Copies of this chain bind each other. A is one copy, B any other.
Amino acid sequence: MATTNGHTVKAFDEDLGQLRGLVAEMGGRAEAAISGAMQALVRRDLDAAAMIVEEDRKIDTIETEIERQALRLIALRAPMADDLREILAALKISGVVERMGDYAKNIAKRVPVLEGAKAIEPLSILPAMSRAVSDMVKASLDAYAARDPQAAILVCESDKAVDDFYNSLFRALLTHMMENPHTITAATHLLFIAKNLERIGDHATNIAEMVYFAATGHQMAERPRGLDSLARAI
Q: Using a CB–CB distance below 8 Å, which chain A residues touch chain B?
A: 67, 71, 74-75, 78, 80-81, 84-85, 88, 91-92, 95, 106, 109-110, 112-113, 174, 177-178, 181-182, 184-185, 188-189, 191-192, 195-196, 229-230, 232-234
Contacts and interface: CB of A to CB of B under 8 A. Distances in A.
Nearest to A80: B75
B185 A188 contact: no
Contacts of A195: 192
A212 to B, nearest CB: 15
Number of copies: 2
A59 B230 CA distance: 26
19 contacts: A67-B88, A71-B85, A74-B84, A75-B84, A88-B91, A91-B91, A95-B95, A106-B234, A110-B234, A113-B229, A174-B184, A174-B185, A177-B177, A184-B184, A185-B230, A188-B188, A192-B195, A192-B233, A192-B234
B88 A71 contact: yes
A166 B234 CA distance: 17
Contact of A234 (B74, B95, B196): B196
Contacts of A174: 184-185, 188
Contact of A109 (B75, B113, B181, B234): B234
A178 B188 CA distance: 12
A230 B192 CA distance: 13
B177 A181 contact: yes
Contacts of A71: 81, 84-85, 88
Nearest to A105: B234
